[in-house]
């Protein structure tokens, strides 16, 4: 940086002329920008889109703003977030699929390219302060450990402050939280009534209160990315109870009820028809009583989670209004994709058991009916309710039919966008950044931190904000996810559902005129073959241009390849006392293999108690600990506790306390040892088949949701020197099952 010509440096201050560079100042009247992103919320779930759950806060924003009915996303969470933040297509910026793996191809790195600046990086030079709370999930998970690298974390991509979680999901009662660039325990996690959504909104309010105190003359950008309503569906029990009666009539009635509301509201055109039930979804009346009871309770947990999130959002909106900031804030509320199909035909109370080949039968679900939505559960609702969430659209998240990619979008800006009307124009999540830049009067930078920037690929829909009848400037938009494909072209849509493992050329393309067929009910492929052929050709052209190729429908192999590349040949981990939390994706990979855990301790004459090492939480994981003077190991597979206890107390003095699991032909033999002297043995066919846990690893305590049958943190009271985990090179993972298990996280 060259100094100005009127600055001079003499021998003394009296002989010198000082200079102070002007700080970046936004243009007069630049508004604050608030983006609130929900997770896995379907097209019809908000009340103002026809939903059943109470969402008065979102509905009020819509009433003083605008609702879009033609807003589209990418069918998945990482991908939509990458497009939202950068204003480009997700493949183009290296996030063609999930942040959980790097496929080795330009469009599938799992990390936003440095040549694709985020909206935070674009706003920073113009005087904006940028804040984020919530779900990030555009950093490769193998980069989320304490050593990073953190260049792909929020602070590395333009945000000034961050509090949230980096993975696809987290337990809302015991979350895996990060503050700025450090893994931290969440405040209040051991208190009754803690819930992550409330914690995130507390943080958002505090951040904006701090901003208002320190720099009230500067605008801010706040990105609030809630975990609601991604699984696990968790909410206060009383709220869940209140929703049970609402859903007892079942999903067939609920779909019809929602469609009727949507037509009355003008969300969908008169005459819109419900498509047939999605594949393998049973008629509600064909379910037995127990299946209905469980399904109702699981749906009630989802609705309560959305209601609870709306209540928390109300506190943020109230804060902005009380502090006089709301009138200067452009507010956007959206979802990242359609409702999730990962709950399967019956839904789950704890999905982590089935991922490790422990089937959750209906009797198990009934036994835990009242636990649904509470601590120690990993709930997801069945396909029928996901289908209902996406009313009146086909299929789900992951798919490129409407149910996966058509989502709610609410925009409000006092004095500018405030008439409560509807917008029916097509728009895409990659269009949000160009729209913001246009309304703020800013140009995208040519370079950020010395890196030349890719051109924006989204198309501004700013004109439609101010004129409900303004035609869309968008011409074409492609879609792809796990080889499901789609193309929107001037109100026509070509779409292909892809069955994993089948040849791409066997896929059947469908054709719809969306201007006349909102719900994709009438396939015109045979009526307009030339149009369809032309659109398929255009899809391949768009795919080549935007780094979509090569198509890859593999689930498991991509996860397995990523894990193998990250962990390499490493078979030993040394955890010294004083170590902090380790996320699960960088913790020892003990799935489907033999391993040995050694804790080096000194026990006083008064004995000791507490956790030596714990990886996971109450839904699944393992813990080695001392209790009543004895050594205990709990192998918790989906909430099924397989406990082995030493046959004698651990004597005072220096000892190696050991648990080893020898796996042969799918059967595990576990042994407890005190200084190589066996003191306990177990045998099991149930070990970690495809996953250990969503929650990470700690030594000397159990961070929050306890793996074993004890209360957290259950800190070790003796002298713990080190814990060593050694793994044998006999790992044998069913790659396809592993991938499906991992996919359920997203």
* 607/526 same-domain check: no
pLDDT digits (tens, 9 = 90+) for 480-539: 999 999 999 999 999 999 999 999 999 999 999 999 999 999 999 999 999 999 999 999
What's 271's domain CATH number?
3.40.720.10
Q: Do 141 and 221 have their domain in common?
A: yes
**For 545-609, what is the HEC assignment?**
HCCCCCCCCCCHHHHHHHHHHHHCCCCEEEEECCCCCECHHHCCCCCCCCEEEEEEEEECCCCCC
Q: Does the pLDDT of residue 364 top 60, yes or no?
A: yes
Residue 84 domain-assigned (yes or no): no
Query: Can you give the CATH number for the domain in which 493 is found?
Result: 3.30.1120.10
User: What is the predicted pLDDT for the residue at 741?
Assistant: 46
β-strands 451-452, 697-699 pairing: unpaired
Instruction: Report the percent of the chain where pLDDT is more than 70.
Output: 97
Neighbours of 77 (CB within 10 A): 28
Q: Which CATH number does the domain housing residue 708 bear?
A: 2.60.120.200
Distance CA 243, CA 236 (A): 11
Pair 126, 174 in one domain: yes
pLDDT, residue 361, reads 94
User: How far apart, in whole angstroms, are the C-alpha atoms of residue 93 and residue 548?
Assistant: 11
Mean predicted confidence (pLDDT) in 41-65: 98
**Residues 8, 12, 13, 14: is their CA dihedral positive or negative?**
negative
Please indicate, yes or no, whether residues 246 and 294 belong to a single structural domain of this protein. Answer: yes
Q: Which of 545, 580, 597 is the last residue of a domain?
A: 545
Predicted confidence (pLDDT) at residue 738 exceeds the cutoff of 60: no
Measured CA to CA, the distance from residue 646 to residue 477 in angstroms comes to: 62
Q: Based on the structure, what is the number of domains in the chain?
A: 3
Residue 493 in 3-state DSSP?
strand
Q: What is the mean pLDDT of residues 270-295?
A: 98
Nearest 5°: phi and psi at 220? Answer: -130, 155
pLDDT confidence bin for 666, thresholds 50/70/90: confident
Kindly state whether residue 1 falls inside one of the protein's structural domains. Answer: no
Same structural domain, 131 and 255: yes
Q: For residue 284, count other CB atoms closer than 10 A to its CB.
A: 18
Whether residues 608 and 671 fall in one domain: yes
Q: Is pLDDT above 70 for 5? A: no
Is 377 within 8 Å of 368 (Cβ atoms)?
A: yes
220-225 and 182-184 as β-strands: parallel, antiparallel, unpaired?
unpaired
Within this chain, do residues 533 and 585 fall inside the same structural domain, yes or no? no
* Long-range pairs of 445-449 with CB within 8 A, sequence gap ≥ 24: 445/117, 445/121, 445/122, 445/125, 448/114, 448/117, 448/121, 448/122, 449/114, 449/121
Q: Which of 512, 545, 578 is the last residue of a domain?
A: 545
- Chain segment 217-237, per-residue pLDDT in tens: 999 999 999 999 999 999 999
Instruction: Kindly report the length of the chain.
Output: 746
Residue 6 pLDDT: 75
Is residue 744 predicted with pLDDT exceeding 50? Answer: no
The label of the residue with tokens 């030596």 reads: 612
736 pLDDT band (50/70/90 cuts)?
Answer: low
Domain membership of residue 16 (yes or no) is no
Write out the residue range of the structural domain in which residue 138 sits: 33-71+114-415
Q: Indicate whether 170 pLDDT > 80.
A: yes
Q: Quick check: is 634 in a domain? A: yes
89 to 79, 85, 111, 318: CA distances (angstroms): 8, 10, 13, 35
Domain annotation covers residue 241? yes
Q: pLDDT tier at 4 (50, 70, 90 boundaries)?
A: low
Tokens for 569? 């040949």
Domain shared by 241 and 363, yes or no: yes
Q: Which of 530, 545, 560 is the last residue of a domain?
A: 545
User: Are residues 119 and 163 part of one domain?
Assistant: yes
Backbone angles phi, psi at 534, to 5 degrees: -65, -40
Q: Rounded mean pLDDT of the chain?
A: 95
The tens digit of pLDDT for each residue in 421-430 reads: 999 999 999 9
Alpha carbon 444 to its chain's center: 27
Note the pLDDT of residue 746. Answer: 41
Confidence band for 743, pLDDT divided at 50, 70 and 90: very low
| Other beta carbons less than 10 A from residue 502's beta carbon | 11
User: Would you tell me how many other CB atoms lie within 10 Å of the CB of residue 589?
Assistant: 24
Contacts of 745 (CB under 8 A, 6+ apart): 100, 167, 168, 169, 694
pLDDT tier for residue 558 given thresholds of 50, 70 and 90: confident
3 state SS of 409: strand
- Residue pLDDT, tens place only, 602-655: 999 999 999 999 999 999 999 999 999 999 999 999 999 999 999 999 999 999
Residue 108 lies in a domain: no
- 676-735 pLDDT, tens digit each: 999 999 999 988 888 899 999 999 999 989 999 999 999 999 999 999 999 999 887 755
- Residue 186: both structure tokens together: 């969440």
How many C-beta atoms lie closer than 10 Å to residue 412's C-beta?
25
Give the pair of three-digit tokens for residue 657. Answer: 């306390």
Residue with tokens 């397989």: 642
Q: Cα separation of 295 and 282, whole Å?
A: 12
Say whether both 491 and 590 belong to one domain. no
Residues 595, 662 within the same domain: yes
Lowest mean pLDDT: which of 162-171, 551-560, 579-588? 551-560
Closest CA to 388 of 38, 745, 49, 743: 49
User: Within this chain, do residues 666 and 711 fall inside the same structural domain, yes or no?
Assistant: yes
Nearest to 674 by CA among 727, 632, 702, 623: 632
Residues 301-357 pLDDT 10s: 999 999 999 999 999 999 999 999 999 999 999 999 999 999 999 999 999 988 888
Question: Considering the domain boundaries, does residue 237 fall inside one?
Answer: yes
Give dist(CA 706, CA 688) in Å, integer: 18
Model confidence at 740: pLDDT above 70: no
CA distance 178 to 162: 8
Q: How confident is the model at residue 745 (pLDDT cuts 50, 70, 90)?
A: very low
Q: Assess if residue 723 is contained within a domain.
A: yes
Query: Which structure tokens are listed for 149?
Result: 């690298």
Cα angle 96, 402, 34 (rounded to 5 degrees) comes to 65
Structure tokens at 370: 């009242």
**What does residue 422 show for φ and ψ, rounded to 5 degrees?**
-95, 155
Residue 5 burial class via C-beta count within 10 angstroms: exposed 0-12, middle 13-18, buried 19 and up: exposed
Tell me, what DSSP letter sits at residue 417?
B
């Amino acid at each position: 940086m060259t100094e100005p010509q009127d600055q001079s440096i003499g021998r003394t201050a009296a002989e010198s002329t000082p200079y102070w560079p002007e700080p970046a100042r936004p243009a007069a009247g630049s508004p604050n920008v608030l983006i609130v992103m929900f997770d896995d919320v379907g097209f019809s779930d908000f009340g103002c889109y026809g939903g059943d759950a109470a969402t008065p806060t979102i509905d009020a924003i819509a009433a003083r703003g605008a609702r879009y009915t033609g807003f589209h996303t990418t069918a998945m969470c990482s991908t939509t977030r990458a497009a939202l933040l950068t204003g480009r297509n997700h493949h183009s910026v290296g996030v063609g699929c999930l942040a959980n793996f790097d496929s080795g191809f330009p469009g599938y790195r799992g990390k936003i390219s440095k040549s694709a600046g985020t909206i935070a990086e674009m706003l920073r030079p113009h005087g904006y302060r940028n804040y984020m709370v919530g779900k990030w999930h555009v950093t490769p998970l193998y980069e989320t450990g304490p050593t990073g690298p953190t260049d792909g974390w929020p602070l590395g991509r333009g945000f000034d402050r961050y509090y949230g979680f980096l993975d696809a999901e987290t337990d809302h009662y015991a979350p895996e939280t990060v503050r700025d660039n450090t893994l931290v325990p969440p405040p209040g996690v051991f208190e009754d009534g803690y819930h992550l959504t409330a914690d995130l909104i507390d943080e958002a309010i505090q951040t904006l209160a701090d901003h208002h105190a320190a720099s009230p003359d500067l605008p801010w950008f706040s990105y609030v990315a809630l975990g609601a309503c991604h699984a696990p569906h968790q909410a206060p029990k009383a709220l869940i109870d209140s929703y049970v009666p609402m859903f007892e009539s079942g999903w067939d009635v609920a779909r019809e009820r929602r469609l009727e509301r949507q037509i009355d509201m003008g969300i969908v055109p008169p005459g819109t028809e419900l498509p047939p039930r999605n594949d393998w979804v049973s008629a509600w009346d064909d379910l037995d009583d127990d299946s209905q009871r469980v399904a109702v309770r699981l749906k009630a947990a989802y609705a309560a989670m959305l209601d609870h999130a709306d209540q928390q959002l109300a506190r943020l909106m109230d804060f902005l209004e009380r502090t006089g900031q709301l009138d200067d804030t452009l507010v956007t509320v959206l979802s990242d994709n359609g409702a999730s199909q990962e709950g399967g035909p019956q839904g789950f109370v704890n999905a982590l058991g089935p991922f490790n080949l422990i089937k959750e039968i209906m009797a198990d679900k009934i036994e835990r009916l009242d636990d649904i939505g509470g601590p120690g559960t990993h709930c997801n609702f069945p396909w029928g309710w996901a289908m209902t969430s996406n009313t009146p659209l086909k299929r789900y998240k992951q798919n490129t039919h409407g149910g996966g990619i058509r989502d709610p979008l609410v925009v409000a800006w006092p004095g500018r966008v405030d008439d409560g009307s509807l917008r029916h124009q097509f728009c895409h999540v990659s269009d949000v950044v160009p729209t913001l830049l246009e309304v703020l009067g800013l140009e995208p930078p040519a370079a950020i931190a010395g890196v030349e920037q890719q051109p924006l690929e989204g198309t501004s829909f700013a004109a439609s904000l101010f004129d409900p009848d303004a035609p869309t400037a968008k011409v074409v938009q492609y879609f792809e996810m796990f080889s499901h494909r789609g193309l929107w072209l001037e109100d026509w849509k070509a779409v292909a559902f892809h069955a994993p493992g089948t040849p791409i050329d066997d896929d059947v393309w469908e054709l719809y005129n969306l201007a006349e067929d909102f719900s994709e009910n009438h396939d015109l492929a045979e009526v307009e073959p030339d149009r369809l052929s032309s659109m398929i050709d255009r899809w391949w052209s768009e795919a080549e241009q935007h780094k979509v190729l090569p198509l890859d429908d593999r689930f498991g192999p991509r996860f397995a390849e990523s894990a193998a590349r990250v962990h390499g040949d490493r078979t030993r981990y040394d955890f010294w006392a004083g170590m902090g939390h380790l996320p699960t994706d960088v913790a020892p990979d003990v799935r489907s293999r033999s391993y040995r855990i050694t804790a080096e301790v000194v026990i006083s004459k008064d004995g000791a108690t507490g956790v030596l090492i714990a990886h996971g939480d109450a839904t699944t994981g393992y813990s080695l600990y001392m209790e009543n003077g004895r050594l205990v190991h709990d192998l918790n597979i989906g909430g099924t506790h397989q406990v082995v206890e030493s046959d004698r107390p651990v004597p005072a003095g220096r000892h190696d306390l050991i648990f080893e699991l020898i796996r042969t032909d799918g059967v595990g033999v576990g042994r407890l040892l005190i200084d190589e002297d066996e003191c306990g043995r177990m045998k099991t066919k149930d070990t970690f088949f495809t996953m250990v846990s969503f929650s990470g690893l700690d030594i000397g305590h159990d961070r929050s949701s306890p793996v074993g049958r004890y209360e957290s943190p259950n800190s070790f009271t003796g002298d713990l020197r080190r814990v060593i985990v050694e793994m044998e090179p006999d790992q044998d993972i069913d790659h396809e099952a592993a991938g499906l298990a991992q996919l359920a996280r997203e």
